[in-house]
Amino acid sequence: MISLTINGLEVSMEEGTTLLEASRFYGFPIPTLCHMDGLSPYGACRLCVVEIGQGANAKLVTSCTYPVEEGLQVRTASSRVVKARKMILELLLASCPQSKTIQDLASSHDIRQQRFKQEFEDCILCGRCVRMCEEQMAAKAIGFRGRGEKRSLGTPFDMKSETCRLCGACMYVCPACELRCTYTELDKAICGGCANLSPPCLEKNSFDDMMCYMEPCVACEVKKD
């Protein structure tokens, strides 16, 4: 067992556990995005940063990839951590403002304005789908391609993969492109039934590109009757 201090509380954890697991085990919440139980730690979204060390040596590390260390002093919600996390969330929100997951995370972290240009990216390169495909579905049909600005996700040569079984797990775990409401018309991205209900989250001019996140969908429930 390894003993360390999390937010001033002396705790002990088994060797090999990560700071994220330890913190959550002892009830200190840490927000995550690219992390998922059952998938290997990746450290891409940086949302789970915590502060370790003392004084001038204090630094921010991603708790999902950092293993527990003897005598480590961890702060999961220091002002530096909160500030860094808010900035990361603002940037994530700017790159993918249509994502419900990111919207929720942003609002729960008290982000009330958007300072950066919205990019409406389809992908935030969190790598969840890649790990899902490889580790849980044992398929390895999709992966990262290119680098830097041109880094993207997809199959080799953009061709239909022979190893893909169309299981849909990649879409299921994606925080950016969550499966859209299709009601009965599968070819339509959104059924539009909720348009008449005009919930505040749907106050937009065009409905072609919308995603509905109500579960269960009010409009679908109404239509069923």
Q: Which of 100, 155, 192, 210 binds another protein (CB under 8 A)?
A: 155
Nearer to another protein, 23 or 161 (CB): 161
Nearer to another protein, 149 or 203 (CB): 149
* Minimum distance, C-beta of residue 122 to another protein, in the bound complex (Å): 18
* Minimum distance, C-beta of residue 153 to another protein, in the bound complex (Å): 10
* Minimum distance, C-beta of residue 164 to another protein, in the bound complex (Å): 10
What residues from 115 to 154 belong to the interface with another protein (CB under 8 A)? 140-147
Q: What residues contact 199, with CB distance under 8 A and at least 6 apart?
A: 214, 218
Query: Which two structure tokens, joined as six digits, stand for 69?
Result: 């260390």
Q: Which of 54, 157, 186, 187 binds another protein (CB under 8 A)?
A: 157
Cα separation, 24 vs 137, in Å, equals 27
* Minimum distance, C-beta of residue 150 to another protein, in the bound complex (Å): 9
Three-class SS string for 46-85? CCCEEEECCHHHCEEEECCCCECCCCCEEECCCHHHHHHH
Number of residues that bind another protein (CB under 8 A): 12
Nearer to another protein, 156 or 199 (CB): 156
What residues from 73 to 112 belong to the interface with another protein (CB under 8 A)? none
Residue 82's φ and ψ, nearest 5 degrees, are -60, -40
Q: Which of 69, 163, 168, 185 binds another protein (CB under 8 A)?
A: 163
Three-class SS string for 70-132? CCCEEECCCHHHHHHHHHHHHHHHHHCCCCHHHHHHHHHCCCCCCCCCCCCCCCCCCCHHHHH
Q: Which of 156, 172, 188, 204 binds another protein (CB under 8 A)?
A: 156
* Minimum distance, C-beta of residue 158 to another protein, in the bound complex (Å): 10
Measured torsion, CA atoms of residues 31, 84, 42, 37, in degrees rounded to the nearest 10: -10
Binding residues vs another protein (CB under 8 A): 140-147, 155-157, 163
